[in-house]
Amino acid sequence: MNTYRLLISCPDAHGLVAKVSQFIFEHNGNIKEAHHHLDAQNKRFFMRIEIESNPAHLLDDFKQAFTQLAKQYQMNWQMNDANQRKRILIMGSKSSHCVADLLHRGHENELEGNIIGILSNHNKLSKIASWYEVDFKQVAIEKATKTADMAKMMNTVDSFNPDVIVLARYMQIIPKSMCEKYQGKIINIHHSFLPSFVGANPYQRAADRGVKLIGATCHYITNELDEGPIIEQDVLRVDHSDSAAEMQKMGQDIEKITLAKGLQYHLEDRVLTCNNKTVVFR
User: Hey, which residues are catalytic here?
Assistant: 226
Nearest to 45 by CA among 8, 89, 88, 72: 8
Integer angstrom CA distances of residue 113 from 192, 216, 234: 27, 23, 23
CA–CA gap between residue 243 and residue 231 (Å, rounded): 29
Looking at the DSSP bridge assignments, the partners of residue 4 are 51, 81
**Three-class DSSP labels, the chain:** CEEEEEEEEEECCCCHHHHHHHHHHHCCCEEEEEEEEEECCCCEEEEEEEEEECCCCCHHHHHHHHHHHHHHCCCEEEEEECCCCEEEEEEECCCCHHHHHHHHHHHCCCCCEEEEEEEECCCCCHHHHHHCCCCEEECCCCCCCHHHHHHHHHHHHHHHCCCEEEECCCCCCCCHHHHHHCCCCEEEEEECCCCCCCCCCHHHHHHHHCCCEEEEEEEECCCCCCCCCEEEEEEEECCCCCCHHHHHHHHHHHHHHHHHHHHHHHHCCCEEEECCEEEECC
Contact yes or no for 163/86 (Cβ under 8 A) = yes
